[in-house]
Amino acid sequence: MSTLYKTLTMAMTAILIIASCGNATAKNDDKKKSAKETVKTVSAQELNATDFAEKVYDLSKDDLKYLGDKPAIVDFTAKWCGPCQRISPILDELAKEYEGKVVIYKVDIDKNPDLAQAFGVSSIPAILYIPLDGKPTMTIGARDKAKFHKEIETNLFGTK
């Protein structure tokens, strides 16, 4: 009987140790999750037609007036477009670099064909630069990060 008692005691001790380790791991995982949730991820924001009308231009009005308080870039894109997918991470990087200075949006032309048509987008990627003052500028085609930097400085901030 003492052997059975020792075996049961050891088994119960092992179960308690395993359970407490599992609980500690769960608590650590919860801490990791909450830390990750507090980290703000900055990237290009995807817009639908309603968001576009609230943040960029209300196309239902005759007088097109930019609605933002920072210069903006609108990337007209599609999931099936290879060049669009190549520049997408670059635009996310630029969103981080220019945080607080420039807002970067993405518009999926398959989901929002009316927006693409309103801006005459017939080839993608099409990049619309919207300065706070002055006329918007549209460029077509993929580009590297250095070219984006030049275009941002020229088209949004008026520097060369």
pLDDT, position 4: 53
- The tens place of each residue's pLDDT in the chain, 160 residues long, gives 556 556 555 555 545 455 455 544 445 555 555 444 545 567 889 999 999 999 999 988 888 899 999 999 999 999 999 999 999 999 999 999 999 999 999 999 999 999 999 999 999 999 999 999 889 999 999 999 999 999 999 999 988 6
Q: 54 and 131: one domain?
A: yes
Active site members: 81, 84
Q: 88 and 144: one domain?
A: yes
104 C-beta neighbours (distance < 10 Å), count = 24
b/e map of 58-87 (b: 16 or more CB within 10 Å)? Answer: eeeeeeeebeeeebbbbbbbeeebeebeeb
Asked if residue 160 is part of any domain, the answer here is: no
**What's this model's pTM, rounded to 2 decimal places?**
0.73
Q: 129 and 92: one domain?
A: yes
Helix (H, G, I), strand (E, B) or coil at 140: strand
Q: 104 and 59: one domain?
A: yes
Q: Which amino acid is at 36?
A: K
CA–CA gap between residue 39 and residue 2 (Å, rounded): 56
Domain residues for the domain of 151 are 45-155
Q: 1 and 33: one domain?
A: yes
Element (H, E) at 25: helix 2-38
The helix/strand count (H/E) of the chain reads as 5, 5
Q: 31 and 64: one domain?
A: no
